[in-house]
Amino acid sequence: MKQSDKNPYGAYILYNSLADYFPGATINSYRKPPYNVLTEAHAPGKNTSAYFLLAPKLNLSKQDINELLRFVKSGNYIFIASLNPGKLLLDTLQLKTTFYQALQKDSTVINFTNPALRRNGGYTFTKYTIDDSFTWINKKDSATVLGITQQNTSPNFVQFRMGKGALFIHAAPLCFSNHFMLTGDNADYVNKAVSHIPSNIQTVYWDEYYKLGREGAATPLRVLLSNFWTRWALRIALLLMLTYILFGMKRKQRIIPILKPLENKSLSFAETVAALYYNRKENELIVRKKMNFLTEFIRQRYALSTNKPDDAFVETLARKSNVNNELISAIFSRAEHLQLTATDEALVAFNKQLEQFYQQAKA
């Protein structure tokens, strides 16, 4: 029974007639639960309003019902028409519903209880469509039966007085459909039913939420949040996930000690040993160590025997290492002399020759 539906069971005619029923009233439709509409859009005490909820099935939450009852008690009106108003609402109003089938007739007849509104012969419509009624009303002190089904005189239209306002509930929503209003003089029934709400109200809230759902995409999360048990299951799951993340962050944030890489102490050791020899003035020993290192270098790199450093050796080494003959001969001849006696100056000059040899050999 959407406001824009022009099909037989839509509510296009009724919605567009609201401006005639309530001249000067602001009329708005909402695809939100009543709780959201009344807490966000309604200004309590500033104007008299009416809330229309017409749907085959309503699933009002406890929050919706509580907010709607506050809305009525403050001097406003609610008009509900539904085949299945929901157990929670029926229990709150202390009502029970049933479906009566007129097996022997082709149509159903409904009427008002007020003699001023009752019509001779009643209002007729196709059978099995408007046969729903209320079989038990407990709050008889605050409830008033406004309409009945003439087959068994069961009430199908009831008013509840609450505070300064009233709640109207109808068991046959098809009475307000396009097809019903266009059949015979049935539009008169709708006019009289709606006339129970004062025509001087200033705001009309029309519910589309229970026909189309919430405005926007119906996400899986919204479905979960609409149910009490799944809503709490989702909250518990999120809480456990948050706890797990917090403990995980605490474990990962512990300071990890920085392990320094092992230092290569070979150079330091060599410098220490050299300084030891130099400080003790053992120049001859330093020369012998340097020559041992040189001959080992020649053997490994050039595969030459260093046992006999004669002219042939010098010539071969010069060819392989690209170091001139004079420098090689000078190194070996000076080394032989310095291993017997070596001054600091001679040792420094000898070391320069060795460095020159290594540079040329590596180049």
Q: Residues 356, 297: one domain?
A: yes
Q: Average pLDDT of 131-154?
A: 82
Residue 239 is predicted with a pLDDT of: 92
Secondary structure of residue 128 in the 3-state scheme: coil
- Distance separating alpha carbons of residues 57 and 210, to the nearest angstrom: 7
Please answer whether residues 141 and 117 qualify as being in contact, where contact means their C-beta atoms are separated by less than 8 angstroms: no
Backbone angles phi, psi at 99, to 5 degrees: -120, 120
* Domain with 150 in it: 12-216
Helices marked H in 197-227: 209-212, 220-225
Q: Average pLDDT of 25-46?
A: 87
Count of domains observed in the chain: 2
On whether residue 248 sits in a domain, the answer given is no
Cβ neighbour number for residue 209 with a 10 Å cutoff: 20
- Distance separating alpha carbons of residues 309 and 323, to the nearest angstrom: 15
Tell me what the pLDDT averaged over the chain comes to.
Answer: 84
Secondary structure of residue 122 in the 3-state scheme: coil
pLDDT 10s digits, 222-251: 667 767 788 888 889 999 999 888 877 766
- Distance separating alpha carbons of residues 76 and 165, to the nearest angstrom: 5
Please answer whether residues 56 and 10 qualify as being in contact, where contact means their C-beta atoms are separated by less than 8 angstroms: no
Q: Residues 48, 197: one domain?
A: yes
Task: Please name which of 203, 166, 169 lies closest in space to residue 46, comparing C-alpha atoms.
Answer: 203
- Distance separating alpha carbons of residues 360 and 363, to the nearest angstrom: 5
- Name which of 3-17, 240-254, 311-325, 347-361 the model is least confident about: 240-254
- Distance separating alpha carbons of residues 76 and 78, to the nearest angstrom: 7
Q: Average pLDDT of 255-281?
A: 70
Please answer whether residues 72 and 165 qualify as being in contact, where contact means their C-beta atoms are separated by less than 8 angstroms: yes
- Distance separating alpha carbons of residues 83 and 128, to the nearest angstrom: 12
Q: Residues 198, 299: one domain?
A: no
Residue 216 is predicted with a pLDDT of: 53
The CATH number linked to 184 is: 3.40.50
Surface-to-core class of residue 226, CB atoms within 10 Å of its CB (0-12 exposed, 13-18 middle, 19+ buried) = middle
- Distance separating alpha carbons of residues 55 and 148, to the nearest angstrom: 20
Residue 103 is predicted with a pLDDT of: 47
Q: Average pLDDT of 341-346?
A: 79
Q: Residues 325, 179: one domain?
A: no
Q: Residues 289, 198: one domain?
A: no
Backbone angles phi, psi at 157, to 5 degrees: -140, 115
On whether residue 300 sits in a domain, the answer given is yes
On whether residue 259 sits in a domain, the answer given is no
Q: Compute and round to an integer the Cα radius of gyration of the chain.
A: 52
Q: Is the pLDDT of residue 27 over 80?
A: yes
Give this prediction's pTM. 0.58
Q: Average pLDDT of 34-53?
A: 87
Q: Residues 272, 182: one domain?
A: no
Q: Residues 157, 279: one domain?
A: no
Q: Residues 186, 79: one domain?
A: yes
- Distance separating alpha carbons of residues 48 and 46, to the nearest angstrom: 7
Residue 267 is predicted with a pLDDT of: 61
Q: Is the pLDDT of residue 193 over 90?
A: yes
Q: Is the pLDDT of residue 203 over 80?
A: yes
On whether residue 197 sits in a domain, the answer given is yes
Please answer whether residues 146 and 167 qualify as being in contact, where contact means their C-beta atoms are separated by less than 8 angstroms: no
Distances (CA, A) of 219 to 159, 210, 213, 241, 297: 37, 16, 11, 21, 78
* Domain boundary pick from 183, 216, 249: 216
* Domain boundary pick from 216, 240, 258: 216
Residue 217 is predicted with a pLDDT of: 47
Could you tell me how far CA 338 lies from the centroid of its own chain?
85
Residue 2 is predicted with a pLDDT of: 61
Q: Which residues make Cβ contacts (< 8 Å) with residue 277, sequence separation at least 6?
A: 283, 285, 286, 289
- Distance separating alpha carbons of residues 122 and 107, to the nearest angstrom: 12
Q: Is the pLDDT of residue 301 over 50?
A: yes
pLDDT 10s digits, 48-84: 999 999 998 998 999 999 999 999 999 999 999 998 9
On whether residue 246 sits in a domain, the answer given is no
Query: What is the DSSP pairing of strand 154-162 with strand 165-170?
Result: antiparallel
Q: Residues 200, 82: one domain?
A: yes
On whether residue 226 sits in a domain, the answer given is no
Q: Residues 86, 180: one domain?
A: yes
State the pLDDT confidence band at 151, using cuts at 50, 70 and 90.
confident
* Domain boundary pick from 183, 198, 216: 216
pLDDT 10s digits, 89-112: 999 998 888 765 544 456 788 999
pLDDT 10s digits, 160-180: 999 999 999 999 899 999 988
On whether residue 229 sits in a domain, the answer given is no
Q: Is the pLDDT of residue 122 over 60?
A: yes
Provide the residue type at 213 as one letter. Answer: G
